Chains A and B, each alone.
Chain A
Amino acid sequence: SYELTQPPSLSVSPGQTAGITCSGDELGDKYVCWYQQKSGQSPVLVIYQDRKRPSGIPERFSGSNSGNTATLTISGTQAMDEADYYCQAWDSNTGVFGGGTKLTVL
């Protein structure tokens, strides 16, 4: 079965750029979405089709996808961005999530 791999955790200082990676076999041939989940809340879509932002998502969130790696980049990270982030793609009509990355802003 298809797998997506994310680093379990990442720490950044406020104002720095955070890059969360998601790797999978030929992932660049698929569309990747990214979801933000704050403690005790439901997930929220922050990036879809590799690099598009839904309305209401700040411009500091951006995405890319090429080769075997997709990346969610948060520029000028703020304390409110502290959350778990999940990448997601479809493979043979099966939904696949990465294991999630806990982003700590300190």
Chain B
Amino acid sequence: EIQLVESGGGLVPPGRSLRLSCAASGFTFDDFAMHWVRQAPGKGLQWVASIYWNSDRMDYADSVKGRFTISRDNARNFLYLQLTSLRAEDTAFYYCAKDSSGSSWHTFDYWGPGTLVTVSS
């Protein structure tokens, strides 16, 4: 059974940093691209960042470019999202999602339960 479990969310003041983790199991992690998608409470889905299976390519939404960094550890089956210079508008549930492909962007075919990041003083 494919499982994705996010962790690392919490309450953080504006301007601070946070690292989110996503533990993957039930599939060959280093065969697939991975993504982060977020959802502000009561709002719609917003794509955040994506990474190829081998980390050769990463893409970011304009709203987070230069502040967030996506990375992965294929030896440990973990996906990460480093969040810096956090703003109130970054408050959201952050979902880890698996792609159906390894080296192109296709489909978010499995999602984790999400972790909540709240940016507030």
Contact = CB atoms under 8 A, between A and B. Distances in A.
Contacts of A1: 62
Interface of B: 35, 37, 44-47, 50, 59, 61-62, 95, 100, 105-114
Interface of A: 1, 31, 33, 35, 37, 42-45, 48-49, 54, 86, 88, 90, 93-100
Given A43-B111, A95-B37, 14 more contacts: A31-B106, A37-B45, A42-B112, A43-B45, A43-B95, A44-B111, A45-B110, A48-B100, A49-B107, A88-B45, A93-B59, A94-B59, A95-B50, A95-B61
Contact of B105 (A42, A86, A93, A100): A93
B92 to A, nearest CB: 13
Nearest to B36: A95
Given A86-B44, A95-B35, A43 B105 contact: no
